[in-house]
Structure 1
Amino acid sequence: MRLYALTALAFSLSSLCAAPVRAEGDGRFVQPASVQESEAAQHLVQARALIASGHHLEGIAEQTRAIEINPLDAIAHRERAKAWHMKQRFELAIADYNRALQLAPRDPDSFFGRAISLHASGNPAAAIEDYSRAAMLRPDWSDPYRMRGHALIAQGQYVRAIAEFKRGLDQDPKDIANLIGLGYARLYMGELPVAADNFIRALRLSDDVRAMLFLYIVRARQGVDGKVELTRYADRVRRKTWPYPVLSLYLGTAEPDAVLAQARTEVEQCEAHYYMGQWLAAKGQRAEALASMTQALKRCPKTNIEYEAAAAAARGGI
């Protein structure tokens, strides 16, 4: 089972509708009103298919054609912004979100998307403002509260972050990511029993590997051998794909080099180095743990919980 990726939620292509392309001021889709808009819509459909198959630059080219045909299309600008973000071209993503919001100034998706790009580019203060606007425009949406919580953690404001995760859970009590964020904030405030309870609550809802790993980290800090508990949870994981190799490391059935060898993408390498750092710290190998955290910081997107956790560990000397 894969880790719950914060940025994957923000940029899910399932949110992109198939045909309508114009947007009202609040970002609502409406049907094309002209032949030109219909032609632009066809380019967007092609772009979605290309991006879904991993051909981001080709998809961006189709989105650009749609914008050239209909430059007042807020949705096309928003979709191209998401594609630029996927390519880690955050400045271009932010520019497209800016234009989308000029055209549809009450669109919560564009505020949320711009916040993610600002956050990823290392500007959590500006991101917090946009997360707040998204939450104001769509108050029953749990994602802006969660991501505002993570941006506050990036500023070291754990108490305020906890309040945001709780607000997100008020909107959706089964939001696994908010529960994990809440548990993580409690962990780094030293509230270990409460943190453990948050991760256990998450695991009652889903066999989330990240929750398992963080629960094990809590147990290590409590001075408890969490291997039996972790084994019980790991046995519930059906798909042994990434990040299962990290569980194997914690369970003693895999070596660090083998785990790193199975981390294919930069994000997976980020995760591998962070959780390996925690594993080394639990074994008392502080220098090696700090070196692993440094490697995680080089690879992790700034919106990932592992980036925040590695930064906190490095600041605190593990």
Structure 2
Amino acid sequence: MRILASMILTAVAFAMAPSGAQAQTPPQLRTCLDNATPQADRVAACSFVIMNAPPAEARELARVYFTRGNAYLALGVYDRALADFDAVTKASPAASGPFNSRGVAFLRQKQLDRAIAELDQAIRLNSNDPIAFANRGDAYRDKGRFDRALQDYDAAIAINPKSVNAHFGRAMTWQQKASSDFDAFVNEGRFEELAVAEYGKLLQIVPRHAHALSNRGLLHHTLRKYDLAIADFTQAIEISPANPFFLRNRAQTYRMIRRFDLAIADYRNALALTQDADGRKLIGELLAQLGVAV
């Protein structure tokens, strides 16, 4: 089962200092630029500024477009996000941020070659940006170019040893190599152990990273370290109790150690949290295998 990364970076720093006149700007501009503003509200506030009170300085206006573009990106409105990033590049062609954000937009749409091209340019403009390297690593990983992805994650970690996304991507890459790389069959367990170690580094930085815990639990399950797998799944569930996948993962391990009562309880809880028909059908089949009617 291919495990998808749960997080892709979208917060990109745009190297533009705010002007000293910002104190006199309308409240919509402050709302637009406030990171605590919900994304839909940021779009509305930034749009008001662009239409009704655009900053006089081109660089400041570009900053508003960039902010709105990242808000659209977070909302999954990719065509409008790309249009805003294009507007930023016209005003400030040497800024790396818009290329990085465009790369994320194409990455999310699985246009991987276009994503890599944009991220290449972001790195050319700013070779000291760990975010761009981590994002490009994600694109190469999605292409199945695992060794190339690892190079980018290593570069990101060299710049910022606490880059959560780079450590997560690196662990994911080892995890995917374990299930798809021929060397995994020759060196059984080696890639899994490398992935476990990488998740351990990530969890030292962010101890309550639920997806890292669940993914490490899957690796421990594969390595037949069932007690460790259950401990990881349990922590993930405590952090994110509404995630049915974590419950299904723990149920799978309970089945392996023949704790069918606990497996059934987890499957039932997962079923109550699952909305999609395919997911509910799968859980129903798993319960039926244990002699339980849905």
With structure 2 as the length reference, what TM-score do the two structures score?
0.71
User: Is this contact kept in 2: 1:242–1:263, CA < 8 A?
Assistant: no
User: Is this contact kept in 1: 2:31–2:37, CA < 8 A?
Assistant: no
In the TM superposition, 1:154-193 aligns within 5 A as 154-190=142-178, 191-193=191-193
Cα shift readout 1:174-193 (whole Å, capped 9, x = no counterpart): 22322221121112222222
How far apart are 1:161 and its partner, in Å? 0.7
3-state secondary structure, aligned to 1:255: helix
Seen in structure 2, the aligned counterparts of structure 1 residues 215 and 43 have a Cα distance that, compared at 3 Å, is same
Higher relative contact order (CA 8 A, sep 6+): 1
Q: Distance in 1 between matches of 2:33 and 2:271?
A: 33
Q: Give 2:222's aligned residue.
A: 221
Check if 1:99 corresponds to 2:87. yes
User: Is this contact kept in 1: 2:85–2:101, CA < 8 A?
Assistant: yes
How far apart are 1:38 and its partner, in Å? 6.9
With structure 1 as the length reference, what TM-score do the two structures score?
0.66
| Bigger-Rg structure (1/2) | 2
Q: Give 1:311's aligned residue.
A: none
Cα shift readout 1:11-50 (whole Å, capped 9, x = no counterpart): 38xx6xxxxxxxxxx84224156xxx8776632213356x
Q: Distance in 1 between matches of 2:15 and 2:239?
A: 40
Cα shift readout 1:57-115 (whole Å, capped 9, x = no counterpart): x4323212212332731001111111222232101100110110110112222221121
Q: Give 2:38's aligned residue.
A: 54
Q: Give 1:22's aligned residue.
A: none
Q: Distance in 2 between matches of 1:133 and 1:235?
A: 42
Q: Distance in 1 between matches of 2:106 and 2:5?
A: 21
3-state secondary structure, aligned to 1:67: helix
Q: Give 2:201's aligned residue.
A: 201
3-state secondary structure, aligned to 2:239: coil
Structure 1 vs Structure 2: percent identity of aligned residues? 15
Structure 2 spans left out of the alignment, 5+ residues: 179-190, 252-261, 290-294
How far apart are 1:235 and its partner, in Å? 6.2
In the TM superposition, 1:126-145 aligns within 5 A as 126-145=114-133
3-state secondary structure, aligned to 1:216: helix
User: Is this contact kept in 1: 2:131–2:156, CA < 8 A?
Assistant: yes
Aligned length in residues: 252
Q: Distance in 1 between matches of 2:44 and 2:194?
A: 49
Structure 1 spans left out of the alignment, 5+ residues: 16-25, 286-318
Q: Give 1:258's aligned residue.
A: 269
